[in-house]
Amino acid sequence: MQSEMEITADQIQQFKHEGYLILEDFFDDREKAAMVAELNRFVRDGLGRNVSTDGDGKTHSNTKTNYQIIPLNNKSDLYRALPWCPKVKDTLSKLIGDPYLRHLDQIFFKPPHTGAGTNWHQDNGYFKVSDPTKATGMWIALHDASIENGTMHIEPGGHKKAYDHERDPDSDHHITCQPDEENVIAVEMKAGGVLFFNYGIPHCTKGNTTDKPRAGCAYHFLRTDFIPEHYKWEKLPPVITGPDATGGEREYGVRIEGTWDDEVNKLAG
């Protein structure tokens, strides 16, 4: 398995200037197989829910599905271990710096033909971090992601703008904004590729019109020295790097760091 993912100074500079970075082939075939195996179990066991509505923000749609599975770390040892995967840790340290914690983890699953997207928004519309460049989303393509199946779309450099957000009528809990779509790009990538984008980058996904499912897994990571004062966490999310990091022992009661490869082997065979 790939234990390292070297990124260049130019790639780090792109992330800092434009707010995003695409890394193809970040996860290898066995890692992809393990993640998809867990995704299939989540869907089969009904561990998520359709958050798409009929446009009123309340009534769940009978014709389109935006299936959200959240959180992941209490459903899967594999997904719980992913933030400690060495190449994930190394890349994040280079992009946002240390120390940081795992803020959020979730999957959005789009079934064939009826899969609905998630409308435009900036993550910082939810999180309210004073400097959105000190945090990043990490979007993993679990299936090949294309324009036809509604891949991620982003506005490069959009973190330099402050967009107003309002209630999203197409979801039962999301908010939405309207970016400058002249600068938008669609992020097409093979399964296992990763898109990093800071909390200020406007982004969305579109509907899946193909005859195959598509899913994206999203982690969010936040510098611990930029945790907003208004956060009222009863328990600090897992700290991944820095002096307060314990490899997951404090948060989960057992050491999680170092288990990624074992978890992949259990599922990929």
pLDDT tens for 204-244 read 999 999 999 999 999 999 999 999 999 989 889 999 999 99
Q: What is the pLDDT of residue 4?
A: 65
Domain boundaries in the chain? 21-268
pLDDT tens for 10-68 read 999 999 999 999 999 999 999 999 999 999 999 999 999 999 999 999 999 999 999 99
Q: What is the pLDDT of residue 242?
A: 98
Residue that wins the pLDDT comparison between 107 and 180: 107
Where do we find the tokens 């314990």?
246
Taking the model in full, what pTM does it have?
Answer: 0.97
- Looking at CATH, the fold of the domain delimited by 21-268 is given as Jelly Rolls (2.60.120)
pLDDT band at 269; cut points 50, 70, 90: confident
pLDDT tens for 104-147 read 999 999 999 999 999 999 999 999 999 999 999 999 999 999 99
pLDDT at 254 over 60: yes
pLDDT tens for 142-170 read 999 999 999 999 999 999 998 999 999 99
